[in-house]
Structure 1
Amino acid sequence: MKIEQLHQLFLECQSACTDTRKIKIDDMFFALKGDNFNGNTYAEQAIQNGAKYCIVDETEFNTSTQTILVNDVLETLQALATFHRIFLNIPIIALTGSNGKTTTKELINAVLSQKYITTATVGNLNNHIGVPLTLLSMTKNTEIGIVEMGANHQKEIEFLCSIAKPDYGYITNFGKAHLEGFGSVEGVIKGKTELYNFLIENNKTIFVNGNDVIQMEKSKHANTFSFGNNANFNIKIEFIEAQPNVKVRYNNLIIESHLIGEYNFNNIAAAVCIGHYFKVEDSSIKTAIEAYIPNNNRSQVLTKGSNKIILDAYNANPTSMQAALLNFEKLNDTNKIAFLGDMFELGQDAEVEHQNIINLIENLNFQAVLIGENFNKTTINSNKVSIFKNFDAFKNEFDTSKLTNHTLLIKGSRGMAMERILEML
């Protein structure tokens, strides 16, 4: 079946789905394969659950008028997403970077939603499957699409751009993330700037943080719209303070966010800049950012009993960990403890990067509890640091009943699931 014909069938459906447990009536089910599953075997169940059509790539499962046999389900999903994106012909903003992608995406979506009907990546569905699903979630009513792109190897962003064909792009930053796949920070920069390369080659527009030297250098041959804290850029956005939450000044407006940490300034500024570019009213930009409440373990501020908790446990890498710790140091609170879990996907740099975090902590003014095999291999020279080999050891040996009237930072890579500490308080 040609992609044009498949797209006509897709337009009869409510949405695309790859999980029979989440199917809605009249969805199109894509029978993807993984290391431990074969979606083809769920085709019949998908139909029973309400799917209008099922896309399969094994002949034995092409058993009804509702199943459609293709050569490769994943490739078909990606090709259909690109066809649908071209069919809709709406502005697509692509977003990548080492840290802050999802928060920035949510802020941009909040701002643009003040004026437009937007569709944005849900959660962090930002890979070779998530990006197509995001594109296919866009409808004829969508006026602007916002697509988050993640990567841990070279050429991944390039491939995602070939699917989404963005008109605009923004890179949050370049940091020590996914070093195992990228090889080095230089590899990270090369991989992330694949977004810039696509936009430059296609004469599209890049949003640039004018305070970021790397962004300025890598986008110098592009159509750009920049923001920064002085008048040299298209739009001036100034950082005011980060205590207790980040405040910025824009066009004589003071915007008071619910986000903690000076590192969130650029995330807010990018949303302001993009809102300004798309002619969202200043007052609406302020309203959107001030109404945004962080969630899903990202920069959340919680209270449990007498303790204040900064829950930033969705993920971690050396760059984001350092930023979180330096922000934690600046808090005026007393009785501060940082609970940190291992950082993953660092490859041969894992040992030195975890030791760097230890060295940083030993020069800061708070206690730290470190959990994980990587931290367990480090050397400590201070009694302000405690280390547990894994979470079970921590749970069995650490007495959380002593934590009263404390301010706690909780951060670690996703695989560490550091939010489990909340259950112990």
Structure 2
Amino acid sequence: MASILFGVGDRRDLDRAAEQSNEPFDGMYAATEDGFWALRQRLIEEKETAGVSVMISPGDRIPRIRLIEELLRLEAMGVELVSAEAAGHPLEIALTPENGNAPSDRGEVIRQSMARKALRGVVLGRIPYGYKTGEHGQLEEHPEEATVVKIIFGLAAQGKGIRAIAAELNSRGLRTRRGGAWSIVTIRDMLRNRVYTGAYNRFGARVAGNHPALVATPLFREIQERLDERAKRAGYGAGRPYLLSGTAICSACGSHMVGVTRRQSWTRNDGSSGSNTYRYYQCEAATNQGRCSYHTRRARDLDAAVLARVGLDGIASRIEAAVDLRISNLAREAAKGRTRAEDIRSAAQLLFHEAGRLRDATRTHGSASVAIDSLLQLADDDMALHSLLRDVVLLAVSRIVVGEKDARVALKK
């Protein structure tokens, strides 16, 4: 393919650069979101981007974050980016904060301020159960709640499991801060929270001995080891995430459906053993609090039913929207200057590659069910693809209500 040169930016700057390089432009576009969009459409028409270069002279007509987004998209399309104004790659120039190490946006200023407060042990966000905020912003013991915290860790020290602890608290009539029943999720999170040893950890700052400890550190470590061992024996571990976890709701009680993994082992009559892992969705209230009798649904069946409702065309169209959201997030991180330019570029290239794989799966020859099975298999095998497919579902679906025999899926308009 012959060499092709496009220009984006101020026409006078581009004309001057073209004169110096003795290379005429095959097309020039304004450095605006509309201009970049028009250029991408032209590149799509070219089909082959080998040998295509784009000279950038952005000026100040497009916000820095938007410029980073557009440059990431162009680079992912395989074109060569060159700067009309300075030495260096246009993306690396755009990723360099204009004011040295100064925060690049108001959000970053706020984040740094909160980090400084965290170093002083000032509580930020939700106050952990068992504590209250003191006069100077540090945590202080909440007498009534602290008693319950000590009961929870005491039961764990006796060897009781999380489900048994939740049942014990509920049977005693003890309630959460909001007056609700105790769930295994709440108990698990409390047992894993180092705040109860007197340490405060927020925004990368860890302050030991910041506030009164409700649990001795040796006991806390012992309980962590027990929890890890229980999870290992049960076959939970990190495992694969669930596509619809926290998105679907139970038709019986309105609680969210959560993903559950179970591993079963057995011994055959001939003395040999076998095992299998089962993945399914179950009502959160039934799983965590025993308050719902709703039966489970196999994860693969429900995932496939929801994707079938969205449809292959709906999935394909929303892949682009999901990629746009991810690129925007990458650009925001880049603009804050906390991530290396090379890491940002690699992440963007991987994102576009993964999106291409998902799009290819939607075009699988054969029935729609074959294509959907292919999509789910890809997601099972690749965490990045799974995460992108979940974004697609969240963009497409407004509500999933799961009954005993069917699922009602409402799509966003």
Q: Normalised by the size of structure 1, how large is the TM-score?
A: 0.24
Greater share of residues in helix: 2
Pair member with larger Rg? 2
Q: Normalised by the size of structure 2, how large is the TM-score?
A: 0.24
- RCO greater where, 1 or 2, for CA within 8 Å and sep 6 or more? 2
